[in-house]
Amino acid sequence: MGRADRDKQVQELHELFSGLEMAVLTDYRGLTVEKISNLRTKLRDVEARFRVVKNTLSIRAADGTPLEAVKEYFTGPVAILYTAGDPVGPAKALMDFIKSNDKLEAKVGILSGKIINAAEIKLLADMPSKDAMIAMALASMSAPATNFVRTLSEIPSSFVRVLGSIQRQKEAA
């Protein structure tokens, strides 16, 4: 690989690293190509990617990006899981894959510019997705208004039931 190719790859990686919402550095030592392909397929479904990176190029590309804080983890065989979208889905997919493939190890991650360790990645995987959290928040916010409207509509309903009861009593007498 010539210098121009290396510089081009560093530039591509730098652009990639700059736009990440979440990234997880993993040690993929011992995984077969078939298993890595299966993981990539699962990650594509949750709008994430898994890429094997060359450490020297990644260290150079990480300068000025959120991954600059974890440059020392670019040792040994490194693959990076990354997404610019909701980080919960990719974290769940990664942790599910790790449960069935003990050879893949999550080293460290970056979430919205903050360093997270493997335990925090697992906690992230246990959270509901962004859409589910928004739905729960909206349900919590709309519940008081819904209950208030039900209460207000109950007043005329009760009045009509009382009138109906009085009418039945008068008709019976």
Q: What is the mean pLDDT of residues 85-114?
A: 89
Section 15-38 average pLDDT: 90
- At residue 64, does pLDDT exceed 80? yes
Span 115-140, average pLDDT: 84
If you average pLDDT over residues 129-146, what whole number do you get? 82
Query: Span 125-150, mean pLDDT?
Result: 82
Q: Residue 96 to residues 20, 72, 125, 147: CA-CA distances in angstroms?
A: 22, 26, 9, 40
Same domain, 140 and 115: no
Pair 91, 124: CB distance under 8 Å: yes
Per the structure, the complete domain to which residue 172 belongs is given by 129-173
In tens, the pLDDT along 100-122 reads 888 888 899 998 888 998 888 88
For 113, phi and psi rounded to 5 degrees? 85, -5
Last residue of a domain, one of 110, 127, 144: 127
Q: Are residues 81 and 102 in the same domain?
A: yes
pLDDT of res. 48: 92
Neighbour-count burial for 6-35, b at 16+ CB within 10 Å, e otherwise: eeebbeebbebbeebbbbbbbbbeebeeeb
For the entire predicted model, the pTM comes to 0.71
pLDDT bin (cut points 50, 70, 90) of residue 6 is confident
Produce one character per residue of 113-144: b if its CB has 16 or more CB atoms within 10 Å, e if not. eeebebebbbebbeeeeeeeeeeeeeeeeeee
Residues 123 and 164 in one domain: no
Q: With cut-offs at 50, 70 and 90, classify the pLDDT of residue 139.
A: confident
The answer to whether residues 75 and 61 belong to one domain is: yes
Distance of CA 46 to the CA centre of its chain: 8
Cα Rg of the chain, angstroms: 27
Q: Which of 53-62, 85-94, 145-154, 161-170 has the lowest mean pLDDT?
A: 145-154
Q: With 80 as the cut, is the pLDDT of residue 1 above it?
A: no
Number of structural domains, the chain?
2
Q: Are 29 and 105 part of one and the same domain?
A: yes
Tokens 């970056």 belong to 110
Question: Do residues 107 and 147 share a domain?
Answer: no
| pLDDT average, residue stretch 60-80 | 89
Token pair recorded at residue 137: 């928040």
- Kindly state whether residues 114 and 140 are assigned to the same domain: no
C-alpha–C-alpha distance, residues 148 and 136, integer Å: 19
Q: Which amino acid is at 81?
A: L
Provide the CATH number for the domain around residue 19. 3.30.70.1730
Domain check: are 115 and 141 in the same one?
no
Regarding whether 11 and 79 lie in a shared domain, the answer is yes
Domain match, 137 and 122 both: no
Is 89 within 8 Å of 128 (Cβ atoms)?
Answer: no
- Mean pLDDT, the chain, rounded, equals 87
